A and B are shown apart, each in its own frame.
Chain A
Amino acid sequence: MRNDNEPLQARVEPVSSWSKVWLVPMVALGIGIWMVYLELSQQGPMITIEFQSAEGLEAGKTRIKTRDVDVGTVKEIKLAPGSEGVLVTARMSQEAESLLTEDASFWVVSPKVSLSGVSGLSTLLSGAYIELSPGSSGQTATQFRGLDDPPLTPAGAPGLHLTLSSGEEFAFSEGDPIIYKGLTVGKFENVYFNYAERMVYYNAFIHAPYHLLITRNTRFWNASGIKLDLGAEGISMHTGTLQTLLTNGVTFGVPDHLPAGDMITERSFFHIYPNAEKASAPHREFSQDYLVLMEDSVKGLQVGAPVEHRGLVIGEVLAVNMPMQDMPAFLDRSYHIPVLLALYPGEMGLKDSTEGREQLTTQMDNWISQGLRATLSMGNLLTGKQFVDLQYHPRLAPEQLVSLSDYRVIPTIPGDFSQLTQKLTALLDKFNDLPLEQLSTDTGQMMNSANNTMEGLQTTLSKLNSLLTDVEDKQLINQLTHTLAGLEGLSADYASDSTGYGELRQMMRRFEQTMLQLQPLLQQLNQNPNRLIFGGAVKEREPQAKGNSND
């Protein structure tokens, strides 16, 4: 029992160090930290891409995509130091981190319309975005340089990269197609001009599986526009695809006379020939040069013109009016125009080798001594192009073999056109020798005589004509006179005061009287036909005096 006098002792309890209320902000803080962690843990790296311009890009809105999947967002756009471009800072997603290799490509996708096609139409509504093309390198990076245009060939695409060259004036541009049998199997990727070689090189890509068609013996040739062939079978027209009609394009193939060859597995160089014929022409490595000294005009003879024998091409023209020593002055009358030819042993049934070239040299010496002559012939009457024709002329006197500046000289004779000109000149000379003035005088005299004779004949014919006309007129007048006299007599017989007229009128009057007398009878018969037989009194109404009328 408790004593009341005892003072009460307060029970002292220790004060709690924190309130339970603090649990709420603690939990909120924990959640916040967890969210920040979660956000940071899901974020990918921040990358920077340098573009030439920020056209179509907008911070906070423009997306970065690969294969149409969002992998990042543009966070900031600012000018690059030196104002040489813009720096686009973007936050990538965590999944895209592995795609950010140092050879990854970025470009802006926006609507584009070109001869090669239309692309990026979907961005008309959604706005431009940045396309990421993952690279194949294992080295990651955060600094990239954006492409001005999308790459024609995605990195790592299966196929074959080629380098094509062309010395022709035609030029191809990026995106032009490479066609095989009408099918687009590749594209030109970019153009590079080599200033040292003055050649244009084109990097091209052949898509798989068509890259298997490219072999060592493959030839490329131009397939742009329309090609018209005028042959013995008429006019034929060849075209590529519609795209090659609008732009340019090349096609390729293996010449018929060559095997397919080994397959190409790495970047190789190929030449672009102007057309299929030149592409399929056999390539001759060995040739022997000859010289011809032309007396005729070489107008229309160009470098590359064929050298033919009986219609077959056995060489080509290497140079026209080649500068040479030991030649008279250009304006000297004895100056002959030197034309350098190259004859291919491979085109003449010999081996395309040094041995074949030696055989060609020996054979040519024999052929020249047996009457082989070079002449200029007209290859095309429309264009005036000429070629060198080698023909045998056994009737000509044999000539000695001559060499000039280490070139064997093939003797020449005047060409067809020159021969034609000579014959025409000779014919004109014969015409000039004719006594044309005397002939003209004699002809003039003969024409005068003939003219006089014709005038006399014309006068005689005129007189004869007038005589015949007079005779006809007299006969006609006599006949007309007789006819008029007859008509006059006839009219006199029936004139108003003539006897015939009086008789005719009297007869008509009698006829009229007779008809008047017959009229009552006819009326009576019309009304009562039996009255002619049976008779009967005719009772007819008669007028009555006024007042006596019954009406």
Chain B
Amino acid sequence: MTRCWTGLLLLALAGCGSAPPSLEYYLLDNTGAAQALPVNANRTAVSLLPLLLPDYLRQDGLVMQVAPHKLHVSRRHLWAQSLASSLSMALLRDVNGSDSQYVLRNLAEPGTAEAPYQLKVQILHLLIDQQSNIQLEARYWLLDSNESKTLRTGAVQSSLPLEEDGYGHAVAKMREAVAILSRDIQAQLSTLETSGQGL
């Protein structure tokens, strides 16, 4: 009788054994692609204001649309950094990478508060849609810091198809979409430069 009870206990303990869930963390900005910023002391500073994100991006799971008006937030594939910080870093890297008259600076950097221009970016959507595309929809405003006047406005809506399965590829495509947004911002900054509104 004692042996029977011992066997049942061992079976129960064996049933409790389970493999821990495997978590995957992703980084939007690829640190391997970092390159040195060109040094130009005469560049006009543009302060990047905190990004405005939709509520469903204010969490760590990657988001995928599984049906119209229905999203799936992954519990295993997570952002290694908050999406707001990742997007800011990606924008800084992309915009400052070109040899432009302007330099985009994070608002937390010293001396950025005195920048004559401000860049305000609102991300409306950044997700994997039901048709296996990366959808990025964003708007941005270039502001005059002194007069609180809007100098330029812009809107970007890009759709990049996924060429491979998996969240890793999807994150890479998201980074490409952010690069498209950065180039559009660069283009608007260049119009400021050409129209002579820069310093």
- A508-551: which have CB < 8 Å to B? 516, 519-521, 523-524, 531-538, 540-549, 551
User: In angstroms, how far is the closest chain A Cβ from the Cβ of B121?
Assistant: 24
In the complex, whether B19 has a CB less than 8 A from a CB of chain A is yes
Nearest CB in chain A: distance from B11 CB, A: 13
Chain B residues within 8 Å of A543, by CB: 64, 128, 132, 162, 165-167, 169-170
Residues in B with CB closer than 8 Å to A516 are 60, 78
Kindly identify which residue among A521, A542, A546 contacts B163, using a CB–CB cutoff of 8 Å: A546
In-complex Cβ contact of A545 among B64, B76, B169 (8 A):
B169
| Contact digits for B97-138, partner A, Cβ 8 Å, 1 yes 0 no | 000000000000000000000000000000010111100000
Within 8 A of B (CB), among A439-461: none
- Do the beta carbons of B162 and A524 come within 8 Å of each other? no
How far is B75's CA from A534's CA once the two chains are assembled, in angstroms? 19
Among B15, B17, B161, B166, which residue has its beta carbon within 8 angstroms of that of A542? B166
Q: Give the interface residue-count category, chain B.
A: 20 to 34
CB-based contact A523/B167 at 8 Å: no
Which residues of chain B are within 8 angstroms of A523 by Cβ–Cβ distance? Answer: 75
A547–B167 Cα distance when bound, in Å, is 16
Across the interface, name the chain B residue whose C-beta is closest to A512.
B82
A541, B72: Cβ atoms under 8 Å? yes
What residues of chain B lie closer than 8 Å to A547, measured between beta carbons? 132
Identify which of A535, A545, A551 contacts B164 (C-beta below 8 A): A545
Given A545-B163, A545-B164: A540 touches B75 (CB 8 Å cut-off): yes
In the complex formed, the residue of B with least CB distance to A526 is: B75
Q: Chain A CB within 10 Å — which of B77, B132, B161 has the most?
A: B132
Check A545–B19 contact: CB distance below 8 A: no
Contact B21 A524 (CB under 8 A): yes
Please, which residues of chain B bring their CB within 8 A of the CB of A520?
21, 23, 75-76, 78
B74 in the interface (beta carbon within 8 A): yes
Task: Find chain A residues with CB under 8 A from B4 CB.
Answer: none
Q: Decide yes or no whether B155 CB sits under 8 A from chain A.
A: no
The chain B residue with its CB closest to the CB of A522 is B75
Whether A544 contacts B165 by the Cβ 8 Å rule is yes
Contact status B165-A535, CB under 8 Å: no
Is A538 within 8 A of B15, CB to CB? Answer: no
Is A540 a contact of B74 with CB atoms below 8 Å? yes
Asked if B37 is at the interface (CB within 8 A of a chain A CB), the reply is: no
Q: Identify A546's interface contact among B17, B162, B166, CB under 8 A.
A: B162
Distance of A532 Cα from B17 Cα, bound (Å): 9
* Contact flag A549-B16 (CB < 8 Å), given A519-B60, A520-B75, A520-B76: no
A542 to chain B: which residues have CB within 8 Å? 77, 165-167
Chain A interface residue bracket vs B: 20 to 34
* Closest-CB distance, B20 to chain A (whole angstroms): 9
- Closest Cβ of chain B to A335, distance in Å, is 110
B76 touches A549 (CB 8 A): no
Closest CB in chain B relative to A187 CB, distance in Å = 103
Closest to B62 in A: A543
Closest chain-B Cβ to A162's Cβ sits at a distance in Å of 112
- For A537, give the chain B residue with the smallest CB separation: B19
Among A516, A531, A537, max chain B CB count under 10 A is at A516
For residue B66, CB closer than 8 A to chain A, the reply is yes
CA A547 – CA B131 in complex, angstroms?
Answer: 9
Query: When A540-B74, A546-B132, A551-B130 are in contact, do A534 and B167 touch as well, CB less than 8 Å?
Result: no
B42 interface residue (CB < 8 Å to A): no
Q: Quote the shortest CB–CB distance from B83 to chain A (angstroms).
A: 13
Query: A520-B23, A520-B75, A540-B74 are known contacts. Are A549 and B131 too (CB-CB below 8 A)?
Result: yes
Query: Would B18 and A536 count as touching, CB distance under 8 A?
Result: yes
Within 8 A of A (CB), among B36-92: 60, 64, 66, 72, 74-78
List the B residue with the shortest CB-CB distance to A544.
B165
Which of A531, A533, A536, A551 contacts B131, CB < 8 Å? A551
Cα-based distance from A519 to B74 in the complex (angstroms): 12
Assess the A534–B16 pair: CB atoms within 8 A. yes
Q: Across the two chains, which residue of chain B brings its CB closest to A546?
A: B161
A532 (CB) vs chain B CBs: closest residue: B18
Closest to B21 in A: A538
Q: How far is the CB of B144 from chain A (nearest CB, A)?
A: 30
Please name all residues of chain B whose beta carbon is closer than 8 Å to the beta carbon of A537 when the two chains form the complex.
19
Closest chain A residue, CB of each to CB of B12: A533
CB contacts under 8 Å to B, within A265-288, are none
A residues near B75, Cβ cutoff 8 Å: 520, 523-524, 538, 540
Cα(A516)–Cα(B59), bound, Å = 10
Closest 8 CB pairs of A and B: A535-B18, A546-B161, A546-B132, A549-B132, A543-B128, A543-B170, A544-B165, A545-B162
- Chain B interfacial positions (CB closer than 8 Å to A): 15-19, 21, 23, 60, 64, 66, 72, 74-78, 128, 130-133, 161-167, 169-170
- Contacts A519-B78, A546-B131 known; list 12 others, CB within 8 Å: A520-B75, A520-B76, A534-B18, A535-B18, A535-B19, A540-B76, A541-B66, A543-B166, A543-B167, A544-B162, A545-B132, A551-B130
A-B contact list, 21 entries, CB within 8 Å: A516-B78, A520-B23, A523-B75, A524-B21, A531-B18, A533-B18, A534-B15, A535-B19, A538-B21, A540-B76, A541-B66, A542-B166, A543-B64, A543-B128, A543-B165, A543-B167, A543-B169, A545-B163, A548-B132, A548-B165, A549-B132
